[in-house]
Structure 1
Amino acid sequence: MASTLEDPLYYLHNFRQVLHWLGQRYADLLAPDETQFIQQFDSLPQASQALLVRMVMRKGTHFRASKLNYLEIGCPHAATVPLRALGWVDGQCPLAFEELFALLQKGELLAAFTPWISQPKGKKADWLEGLAAQFSEPRSFASWCPDLSDTLYSLTVMDLCDRLRLMFFGNLHQDWSEFVLADLGIYTYEKVDICSESRGLRTRADVQGYLFLHQCQQAFESGAALEEVLAQVAALHTDNPWLEKRRAKLLFQLGQYCERSAELALAEQIYRTCAYPGARARLIRVLERQEDYAQAMALASAAQQAPESAAEAQHLLRVIPRLRRKLGEPRLPALKPREVTRLDLELVLPQPLMSVEHCVLAHLSEPDGPVHYVENGLINSLFGLLCWDVIFAPLPGAFFHPFQRGPADLHSEDFHQRRAPLFAACFEQLRDDRYKAVIRQRYAEKWGIQSPFVFWNLLSEALLEQALDCLPAEHLRYWFERLLLDIRANRTGMPDLIQFWPAQKRYRMIEVKGPGDRLQDNQLRWLAFCGENQMPVTVCYVRWAEQAA
């Protein structure tokens, strides 16, 4: 890629790269207008290409010529001539008043609309409602502001360019700034061999399905009628498992909205057809809120026989006793909770204020027993370094563009299964000291490269060495295997602090709770897991000295 520091047309080279990439890998998916766009773009003068890309990469679709000043492009009016001839840029686009309002400065609004502004000395934002009520018909920029010596150019191909961006990235949350951030070295990505067959969207139906769900999501977030959005989402049928998960996630969000709005019958209907993780637990909750305790108990009992995750199993331990009580059934013997080492501290409230975790860190740290604030960062990072080559293995469908922080199937149910032999070979290195050499080498070679697991801003060389010296390989294996059971759920909830005693090659993890704070479900699961595997962990409860009785 071209360097932003060396070539003022770096953005144009990057856009051309995207078009070339799409032409190579997505030719069979491109609609006729997309194919034509790519072909016609190549025939444009360089200045016109550059101006179009500048507009595509900026926010919005309307641009005043006075704001399109780029030395490498020159006169924006001349550069738009071929673009207007193709219909990609419009110089007479009708504007709603709200669009015009966003384009004009306060002084320009005063000059054009003073008779209709009741408080000229007020804030610009305060004028919008009153003015918009008086000017409801769209007009061209020149008609709105005949006295302004400026021209407005409106981009008409933004939707088309968004479709191209979607095909390249496989999503719409990444945008053209990825190129700039990579060029500047702000983000560095692992170089993965991407075969020509690897792509995020496999058919045109996938492209249309993604855009359809995106429109449904936007409609829902903008307050569209819930029944209409629900009917649209339910109407989508796809054989793409990844797209079906996106559909299920949106259904889950609709169900949660119905719960919050007390539309319980509709929430029940949604959850019954939703395969997103957690939907069954929400359905049990909705049935209970509707006082349909028998159905709720039947579903909870079935779920207890085959829980979808540790989180659901934990949830059922609270739900089932409550449902039995409401059904008049006898209480089950209470399970004795596993004991966790407890530490109570009374500390002076620091000045200046700092987090309770850092207060405990400062209090417990000693020369021979340093304490680090790591939360979820350390264990995830050690896993990410040891298993780097597995995580970035070029499996079909895992990587399809150069700006991926991790594999596309990271949270899929078969992520581990598809790579089982590779992970097994990685974990085999934990049987001797080979894993230490591998982790140190990856830390040196891969430092700063984006990873879904490695926290570079946290992982200093000193912390890494202390961890390798004090954390038993057996404990690392336990942690890593639990991560792979459910990456989305198990990569969080780990204790806040870790203390090492390098001379004795031992450690303890410390979960910190300030006044009024309590253990969250994912933290309880991690504490239970550590207890089951004899990992030293302490829960530290803090109260401030001035709050003491």
Structure 2
Amino acid sequence: MTTALPDLPEGYYLDNFRRLLDTVVDRYDDLLSPDDRDFVKRFRALNQAPARLLVRLYTRKGPFFRRDKLNYPEIPDLDAALTDLAQSGLVDLSPELTAGELARLLTLAELRRLDWLPDRKAAKAVLLEMLDEWPDVQPASDWQVDIPILLPRHWLTLRRLQLMYFGNEYQSLTDFVLSDLGLFQYEPYSLDRRQRRFNTALEIDQQLALNDLKAEYYQAQENGDRDTLLQLAGDLLRDDWCESIRDRLDRLRNRVGFRLEQWGELDTALALFQTNDQPPARERRCRIDYKAGRYQIAWDTLQQLRDRPRDATEIRFGQRFMPRLARKLSQPVDPDPVHAPIEHRACWPRGNGSVEQLACEHLPDSVWLENLLPLGVFGLIHWDLVFREVPGAFHHPFQQGPADLHDPDFLNRRGTSPQRLYRELTARDARDRIRRHWSAKFGRFNPFVHWAALDETLVLRCFDTVPWEHWVAIFHHLWLDLRRHRAGFPDLFQFRPGQDAGYRFIEIKGPGDRLQDNQRDWLAVFSEAGIPAEVWYVDYA
């Protein structure tokens, strides 16, 4: 039975925008630009109808709009509202626009009535491509179009305000609505100036600039535009970037560097990879130096990588690349331990469902939980740690988890480490946390807990079946790289009462399927920790 959603009050979107505005002013008053302050002053002076209309426009795809396409029952006199907005300097009722911008507002039939159209028989996509080359900018009337066009102003200010509120540009006022409807529930945490994402105006400006560079990167990559990528590299190699955006900056540097490496621009790619140690920077440096015959430099980088790997991809690269590089330098290499998983082959009649569902039918007392089981247990046990309030972790009320969740120093910032965590935590305490958090937190967002796919009784049964030291080994591997290790866990959990271990994890592979690297990583962890795990290769009878 579907639960009916509550009705939102009329003008809810204006209330939400005011909440956003008030929060930003309260938290970032010292960082607001003159344009920001001017917008806030003008907006707060508006009457209800024009304020509602402006927010409606801001939440639609713009920036230009046709007057005849606007219709909001809660704003009966749109023309009066538009007049107020124009007098307040918040909307331009006769904006200048290019031919391409205008064409996107018109239907194909409307376009073909224009005398200046280069080809009336062309498809609209072809026409847009032609018109985008025209540089002229003028009002719609000068383009011989008598349809009223309007342009809300202060788009950049809106972008800045939303960035200050959310700390990113992928969330929006929609998050308010989803919360108001009760569709999403978030963990409560305090929000004040100490928790804000940015502490200087320069950080805000640079984050916006970095987001623009990221958009340019994706466009250049799609178009195969080498010159633009080289220009981007120059911007990214500047040394005046703020430390607070370093993590995001390094991720983009590595993306651009990898693409330039593929395109043969090795010197520029290497310069980008030398700015940071975020994976895969050290791996790419090794490969470029190896290709250039700089074997000793590559060897030194590889030793650093193997001594202190940042994630599983670096461990795997070190294992695979070390023998090749050692041969070039006549260096002895101790072989890494080989973890060969226990394998079985089965031939079963093909069913109607997936191969995992078929395996559950043939392997008694098995459940198909895959990554949901370890992540759910991990999230429930470590709930308080994940949502512990440290400066900068939570800066708006719609976060599924802390902003620094995937940072290498996540635990260190919270005054602990994996070793310390599990010296102090017992199996009984962990089980109590699962039960307590299931009861108190059910339905709230947690980056590890997928409520709809889990059952408390089943989770507790799995937890009780697996020895605590096995859970600790699993948690250690998760902490090594929370971003990448959340995937690759075996498909099935099978209860085996009366057997030595009492359970086993089973990875199921259908015809033609093979183990992925992250699955091999988990199987290696299981082998070292004595956790029972097997791989079953299934063919159909």
Amino acid of the residue matched to residue 171 of structure 1? N
Residues 57 and 152 in structure 2, CA contact (< 8 A), matched pair in contact too: yes
CA apart distance, 1:410: 0.9
2:46 maps to which residue? Answer: 44
Is 1:163 aligned to residue 164 of structure 2?
no
Residues 536, 328 of structure 1: alpha-carbon distance in 2 compared, 3 angstrom cutoff: same
Is 1:520 aligned to residue 521 of structure 2?
no
Question: Gapped runs of 5+ residues in structure 1?
Answer: none
CA apart distance, 1:439: 1.0
Distance of 1:437 and 1:330 partners within structure 2: 52
CA apart distance, 1:80: 1.6
Distance of 2:521 and 2:418 partners within structure 1: 24
Match of 2:386 among 363, 369, 391: 391
CA apart distance, 1:166: 0.3
Match of 1:154 among 151, 161, 180: 151
Residues 338, 424 of structure 1: alpha-carbon distance in 2 compared, 3 angstrom cutoff: closer
2:128 maps to which residue? Answer: 128
1:141 maps to which residue? Answer: 140
Percent identity over the alignment is 35
1:80 maps to which residue? Answer: 82
Residues 372 and 453 in structure 2, CA contact (< 8 A), matched pair in contact too: yes
Match of 2:440 among 441, 445, 448: 445
Match of 1:404 among 386, 399, 406: 399
1:226 maps to which residue? Answer: 229
User: How many correspondences in the alignment?
Assistant: 530
Is 1:536 aligned to residue 535 of structure 2?
no
SS in 1 for 2:138: coil
Residues 418 and 479 in structure 2, CA contact (< 8 A), matched pair in contact too: no
Residues 239, 376 of structure 1: alpha-carbon distance in 2 compared, 3 angstrom cutoff: same
Deviations 1:117-155 (A, max 9, x none): 4537xx53344335656x6533322333545xx421112
**Counterparts of 1:30-429 in structure 2 under 5 Å?**
30-112=32-114, 116-119=118-121, 123-130=123-130, 137-147=136-146, 150-223=147-220, 225-240=228-243, 242-325=244-327, 327=328, 329=330, 332=333, 334-350=335-351, 352=352, 354-364=353-363, 366=364, 369=365, 371-420=366-415, 427=422
CA apart distance, 1:432: 4.7
Q: TM-score, normalised by structure 1?
A: 0.89
SS in 1 for 2:65: strand
Amino acid of the residue matched to residue 53 of structure 2? L
SS in 2 for 1:232: helix
Residues 4 and 180 in structure 1, CA contact (< 8 A), matched pair in contact too: no
The runs of at least 4 aligned residues of structure 1 exceeding 6 Å deviation read 422-426, 502-505
Distance of 2:229 and 2:312 partners within structure 1: 32
Residues 429 and 435 in structure 1, CA contact (< 8 A), matched pair in contact too: no
Residues 415, 500 of structure 1: alpha-carbon distance in 2 compared, 3 angstrom cutoff: same
2:224 maps to which residue? Answer: none
SS in 2 for 1:541: strand
Distance of 2:135 and 2:317 partners within structure 1: 53
Distance of 2:339 and 2:278 partners within structure 1: 31
Distance of 1:472 and 1:251 partners within structure 2: 43
Deviations 1:396-446 (A, max 9, x none): 221111111111111222211233459889757852534323212322322
Amino acid of the residue matched to residue 360 of structure 1? A
Residues 208, 336 of structure 1: alpha-carbon distance in 2 compared, 3 angstrom cutoff: closer
Distance of 2:36 and 2:354 partners within structure 1: 53
Distance of 2:217 and 2:429 partners within structure 1: 52
Q: TM-score, normalised by structure 2?
A: 0.90
Residues 428, 455 of structure 1: alpha-carbon distance in 2 compared, 3 angstrom cutoff: farther
SS in 2 for 1:173: coil
2:223 maps to which residue? Answer: none
Distance of 1:196 and 1:118 partners within structure 2: 57
Residues 430 and 473 in structure 1, CA contact (< 8 A), matched pair in contact too: no
Distance of 2:250 and 2:428 partners within structure 1: 44
Residues 256 and 267 in structure 1, CA contact (< 8 A), matched pair in contact too: yes
Amino acid of the residue matched to residue 128 of structure 1? L
Distance of 1:285 and 1:419 partners within structure 2: 36
Amino acid of the residue matched to residue 413 of structure 2? R
Amino acid of the residue matched to residue 128 of structure 2? L
CA apart distance, 1:7: 1.1
Distance of 1:328 and 1:412 partners within structure 2: 35
Deviations 1:225-253 (A, max 9, x none): 1222111122252453x401111111101
Distance of 2:419 and 2:42 partners within structure 1: 51
Question: Gapped runs of 5+ residues in structure 2?
Answer: 221-226
SS in 2 for 1:433: helix
